[in-house]
Amino acid sequence: MLPAVRLRSAVALVGRYPVLAGADLDLDRGEVVVLRGANGAGKTSLLRVLAGLLPLVAGEASVLGFDPGAEPRRLRPLVGLLGHRNGLYDDLSARENVRFAVRAARLGPGAVDGALDRLGLLGRLSEVPAGRLSAGQRRRVALACLVARAPKLWLLDEPHAGLDAEHRSLLDALLDEVAGAGASIVLASHEELPPELASRRTVHMAGGTVVEGPAAPVAPGTGHPAGVPVVPAGAEAPRVA
């Protein structure tokens, strides 16, 4: 079976700045990987590459069997991305936001209530315009949009941001459930994670590259972690069980 994600020597630019500088990553189907790293390490850029939103200028990428640069429109419906921003329409209610995500994905309306219920948004909250919800509630609406779409690959950028303790636990249980159902998850966070997630495979990023295991310092002037050779295109990236 093809891996969910295979990145080799991935280089991506934002403007003229290399936000990924030879990143390698493998992710199996149903696997959860936690991306760690300082601000600007390249976590968000890596997620955007995997979503087909940021093209590679060098290296190779395969996501769910598709090249995200060449076939983004075939890949994207299979991928759910939760970025720093929630992607909600302030004037639409929580229910209408989820309904739009469901209709856009050509799914039946039955998925809406289930997703709202899973995130604790059924009832009065579902009818409140998203612009009047708290930051945590907005995050939950955005997560409900993903739940309703049931993507095969979840790309989550600081998903716990704004959530209280109760809903952090709810999210952690949801992610366990999603991974148990066979979806793959890449979760970027620099917050302290609960034991269930902290025990998952952790990948550190620094200077736009991926370092498996503990973080390594960036070698001055190279953009790469000190002591970590850049893996040439086509070679196997190191894996940590």
Partner 1 sequence: MWRDALVVAGKDLRIEARAKVGLNQVVPYSMVVLLLFGFAFDQDRPLLQQAAPGLFWMAVLFAGLLAVQRSFSVEAADGAMDGLRMSGLDPAGVFLGKAVAVAAQLVALEALLTVGVVVLFHTQLAGAGLLAATAVLATACVAGAGTAYGALSMGLRVRETLLPMLLAPVLAPVVLSATEAWRAALGLSTGGGWRWLGLLAAFAAIYLAGGAVGFGALMEET
Rounded to the nearest whole angstrom, what is the least distance from the CB of residue 116 to partner 1 in the complex? 17
Distance CA 33, CA 198 (A): 10
* Residue numbers 110-169 binding partner 1 by CB under 8 A: 129, 145
Tell whether residue 83 is a contact of partner 1 (CB under 8 A): yes
Binding residue (CB under 8 A) for partner 1 from 76, 117, 161, 194 = 76
Q: Single out the segment in contact with partner 1 by CB under 8 A; choices: 29-37, 70-78, 108-116, 179-187.
A: 70-78
Q: Is 16 in the site for partner 1 (CB under 8 A)?
A: no
Q: Which phi-psi region, left, alpha or beta, contains residue 215 (left: φ > 0; alpha: ψ -120 to 50)?
A: beta
For residue 8, count CB atoms less than 10 angstroms from its CB and return exposed for 0-12, middle for 13-18, buried for 19 or more: buried
Rounded to a whole number of angstroms, the minimum distance from the CB of residue 92 to partner 1 is 6
Q: Which helix (H) or strand (E) segment is 156 a member of?
A: strand 153-157
The three-class DSSP label of residue 20 is: strand
Interface residue with partner 1, options 84, 108, 220, 234 (CB under 8 A): 84
Which residues contact residue 223 at a Cβ distance below 8 angstroms, ignoring those fewer than 6 apart?
A: 18, 21, 207, 208, 209
- The site for partner 1 (CB under 8 A) is made up of 51, 53, 72-73, 76-77, 79-81, 83-92, 96, 100-101, 103-106, 129, 145
